[in-house]
């Protein structure tokens, strides 16, 4: 543990993942120092270093599509902005339906995506086979495809942001844990840490799967629920797969990296919460092996090199929580991204920073504000396309 250099900061960000670092970047560029980013773990130790690198714009709600579209544009110029190549490849996302009901759902998603001006395409099995000839399509009835979706390498993005914010004077401390908050008159004044209390004007909770824990330590009940999801990488093959492939029925998703590895996951139920850690299970390997080899028979004898897991930060309506908590002024949420914080971070973090700066955003408060869980008003349309 390394203690902070100061006893007072304008903004303290809890969580040094992609959302926390991007938020620090925007605040530092706006001259909002001094800024401290603290993390109980290490760089890339949370979900930002444990995801499949997918970046897609196919969603059920226009608000999410707009954030994702902006994020794609940001990742396209990430190398020019930060001087780090994240190898963003726009090979597309291919969603597969195995029942008429799933096909109808993809048709609805296609309608929303196309309504936002993106050239989404609905495919029949013949069109899917043309895109990915290696798929066994006996149980597939249709799909949806968007070419401008893609994949990137998460680690260079984290490293590039880390160096960028430090270059802007942001202090980043690892092995430092948020332990609570003090307030006066309903406004936050101090954040407690494992190295002592820090005076702060604003605190941003960007702790991903641990964000509900951070909020609880500050006296706030949050609806977030961490859920563990597993993923693996195989030995490399000669490149044959351009898009990320996602199957609705079981949550199977996989893509091929530039090195030829197959990287993907599958939904295996785990008890909610972080107590189980971030290991991998034999059951996941069994299910993933059966699912992957069933859909792509040529992968049946492929060896797994490594497997791991990380936490989704899920909310009841599938939408992130962004903004100041009305129960504790000065405490800002930047969490609840499910398994898609990396995907939406460039755009979402800009809005988080705007909230800290007291600037208006283009976000509908009924869909994104923390206050939406505090009243009796019905929620906005939920986002349920949380796969891949």
The DSSP result for 270-308, as a single string, is --SSSTT-S---HHHHHHHHHHHHHHSGGGTTPPEEEEE
Same domain? For 119 and 255 the reply is yes
| Shared domain check, 293 and 178 | no
Q: Are residues 169 and 307 in the same domain?
A: no
Boundary of a domain, candidates 314, 347, 382: 314
Model pLDDT, residue 377: 61
Same domain for 100 and 43?
no
Phi, psi of 336 (to 5 degrees): 75, 30
Q: Is the peptide bond before 34 cis (omega within 30 degrees of 0)?
A: yes
The pLDDT value given to residue 388: 62
Residue 209 is assigned to a structural domain of this protein: yes
Cβ proximity of 229 and 38 under 8 Å: no
In sequence order, which residues have a C-beta less than 8 Å from that of residue 211 and are 6 or more positions away?
15, 205, 222, 224, 313, 333, 335, 336
**Same domain, residue pair 94 and 165:** no
Residue 74 counted as domain residue: no
Number of domains in the chain: 2
- In this structure, the answer to whether residues 141 and 255 fall within a common structural domain is yes
Q: What is the pLDDT of residue 384?
A: 79
pLDDT at 90: 97
Q: How far from each other are the two terminal CA atoms of the chain, in whole angstroms?
A: 35
The residue to which tokens 């970046």 are assigned: 55
Residue 343 near residue 310, CB atoms below 8 Å: no
Q: What is the pLDDT along the chain (388 residues), one digit of tens a residue?
A: 678 999 999 999 999 999 999 999 999 999 999 999 999 999 999 999 999 999 999 999 999 999 999 999 999 999 999 999 999 999 999 999 999 999 999 999 999 999 999 999 999 999 999 999 999 999 999 999 999 999 999 999 999 999 999 999 999 999 999 999 999 999 999 999 999 999 999 999 999 999 999 999 999 999 999 999 999 999 999 999 999 999 999 999 999 999 999 999 998 988 888 888 888 999 999 999 999 999 999 999 999 999 999 999 999 999 999 999 999 999 999 999 999 999 999 999 999 999 999 999 999 998 999 999 997 665 667 887 777 6
Q: Report the alpha-carbon distance of residue 154 to residue 44 in Å, rounded.
A: 9
SS3 263: strand
Cβ neighbours around 382 below 10 Å, total:
13
| C-alpha to C-alpha distance for 75 and 11, rounded to whole angstroms | 26
Whether residue 291 lies inside any domain: the answer is yes
As separate numbers, helices (DSSP H) first and strands (DSSP E) second, the chain gives 10, 18
Q: What is the CATH number of the domain that holds 93?
A: 3.30.9.10
Q: CA 117: distance to chain centroid?
A: 23
Does one domain contain both 232 and 351?
Answer: no
Token pair 């139920």 is found at 269
Task: Determine the structural domain holding residue 40 and report its residue range.
Answer: 8-49+155-224+316-373
End residue of a domain, out of 314, 338, 353: 314
The answer as to whether 388 is a domain residue is no
Query: 207 and 255: one domain?
Result: no
**Cβ atoms of residues 345 and 22 within 8 Å:** yes
- Do 309 and 230 have their domain in common? yes
Q: What is the pLDDT of residue 381?
A: 72
Examine the domain organization and report whether 201 and 266 are in the same domain.
Answer: no
How far, in Å, CA of 232 to CA of 83, rounded? 29
Strand ranges (E), the chain: 8-14, 35-39, 54-55, 93-97, 121-123, 142-146, 150-151, 171-174, 178-184, 187-193, 196-205, 225-234, 244-247, 253-256, 262-266, 304-314, 321-324, 331-335
Residue 331 tokens, joined: 């405490």
Given 294, 314, 334, which residue is the final one in a domain?
314
Looking at the structure, do residues 330 and 189 belong to the same domain, yes or no? yes
Same-domain pairing of 204 and 233: no
**C-alpha 105: how far from chain center:** 23
Do 268 and 115 form a contact (C-beta atoms < 8 A)?
no
């Amino acid at each position: 543990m390394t203690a902070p250099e100061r006893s007072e900061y304008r903004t303290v960000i809890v969580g040094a993942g992609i959302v926390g670092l991007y938020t620090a970047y925007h605040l530092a560029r706006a001259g909002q120092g001094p800024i401290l980013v603290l993390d109980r773990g290490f760089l890339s130790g949370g979900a930002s270093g444990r995801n499949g690198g997918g970046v897609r714009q196919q969603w059920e709600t226009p608000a999410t599509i707009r954030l994702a579209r902006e994020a794609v544009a940001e990742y396209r110029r990430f190398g020019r902005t930060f001087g780090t190549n994240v190898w963003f490849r726009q090979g597309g996302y291919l969603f597969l339906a195995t029942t008429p009901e799933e096909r109808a759902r993809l048709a609805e998603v296609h309608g929303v995506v196309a309504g936002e001006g993106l050239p989404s395409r609905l495919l029949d099995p013949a069109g899917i086979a043309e895109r990915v000839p290696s798929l066994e399509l006996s149980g597939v009835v249709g799909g949806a495809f968007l070419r401008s979706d893609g994949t990137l390498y998460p680690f260079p993005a984290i490293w590039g942001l880390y160096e960028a914010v430090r270059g802007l004077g942001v202090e980043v401390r690892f092995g430092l844990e948020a332990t609570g908050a003090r307030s006066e008159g309903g406004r936050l004044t101090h954040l407690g840490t494992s190295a002592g209390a820090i005076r702060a004007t604003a605190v941003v909770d960007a702790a991903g799967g641990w964000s509900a824990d951070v909020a609880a330590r500050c006296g706030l009940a949050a609806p977030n629920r961490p859920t563990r999801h597993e993923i693996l990488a195989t030995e490399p093959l000669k490149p044959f797969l351009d898009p990320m492939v996602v199957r609705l029925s079981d949550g199977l998703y996989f893509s091929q990296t530039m090195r030829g590895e197959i990287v993907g996951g599958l939904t295996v139920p785990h008890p909610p919460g972080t107590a189980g850690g971030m290991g991998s299970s034999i059951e996941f390997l069994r299910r993933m092996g059966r699912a992957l080899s069933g859909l792509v028979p040529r992968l049946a004898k492929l060896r797994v090199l490594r497997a791991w897991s990380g936490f989704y930060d899920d909310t009841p309506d599938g939408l992130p929580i962004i903004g100041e908590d009305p129960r504790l002024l000065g405490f800002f949420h930047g969490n609840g991204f499910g398994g898609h914080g990396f995907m939406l971070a460039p755009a979402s973090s800009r809005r988080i920073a705007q909230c800290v700066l007291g600037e208006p955003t283009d976000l509908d408060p009924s869909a994104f504000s923390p206050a939406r869980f505090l009243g009796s008003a019905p929620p906005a349309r939920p986002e349920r396309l949380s796969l891949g």
